Amino acid sequence: MNPQLTRLGDLSELEPHGQFSKWVDGHDILVYRYQGEVRAMSNICRHFGGPIGYHKMKDGQFTCLWHNFKFSAADGSCLTNPKLGSRMYKLEIRGNEIWVQLVENEGPTVMETLPSAHGPERT
């Protein structure tokens, strides 16, 4: 099954700074160019919820506005505290449009994974 994609914006929004952030369906997403590729990560710092992409990327890193936690543009890892990495989003470029995959895995619901109250089915 193909993952559902949501339109995030246009490539032109990356100019002139090479990055932008946008809220889409409850996700604050930072979109940027890194080494010639358009990438996206969560714009919410897991340390205390500050904006990761408030400042322009410098030397392949973003610095959170609130407490200066640093994040790698390459993979979203937190260089200040490795346990607090940022989620990377999968993107698809369609012409000038940027599309994002918001849901990572569309697996069964919780109810579908619970065992039956009557035990295993018998055939």
Domain boundaries, the chain: 6-113
Q: What is the mean pLDDT of residues 14-41?
A: 95
Task: Dihedral sign for Cα 42, 45, 49, 55, please.
Answer: negative
Q: What is the mean pLDDT of residues 8-34?
A: 95
Q: Give me the pLDDT at residue 122, please.
A: 46
Angle (CA) 97 100 102, round 5°: 155
Q: What is the mean pLDDT of residues 90-94?
A: 96
Residues whose CB is less than 8 angstroms from the CB of residue 4 and which lie 6 or more positions away in sequence, other chains included: 101, 102, 103, 106
Tell me the average pLDDT of the chain. 87
| Composition of the chain by helix, strand, coil, percent to 5 | 10, 40, 55
Can you identify the CATH homologous superfamily of domain 6-113? Rieske [2Fe-2S] iron-sulphur domain (2.102.10.10)
Instruction: Give me the percent of the chain exceeding a pLDDT of 70.
Output: 83
Q: Give me the pLDDT at residue 45, please.
A: 94
Q: What is the mean pLDDT of residues 105-119?
A: 47
Q: Is the pLDDT of residue 1 over 50?
A: no
**Would you place residue 103 in the very low, low, confident or very high pLDDT band (cuts 50, 70, 90)?**
confident
Q: Give me the pLDDT at residue 2, please.
A: 57
What is the C-alpha to C-alpha distance for residues 58 and 47, in angstroms, rounded to an integer?
20
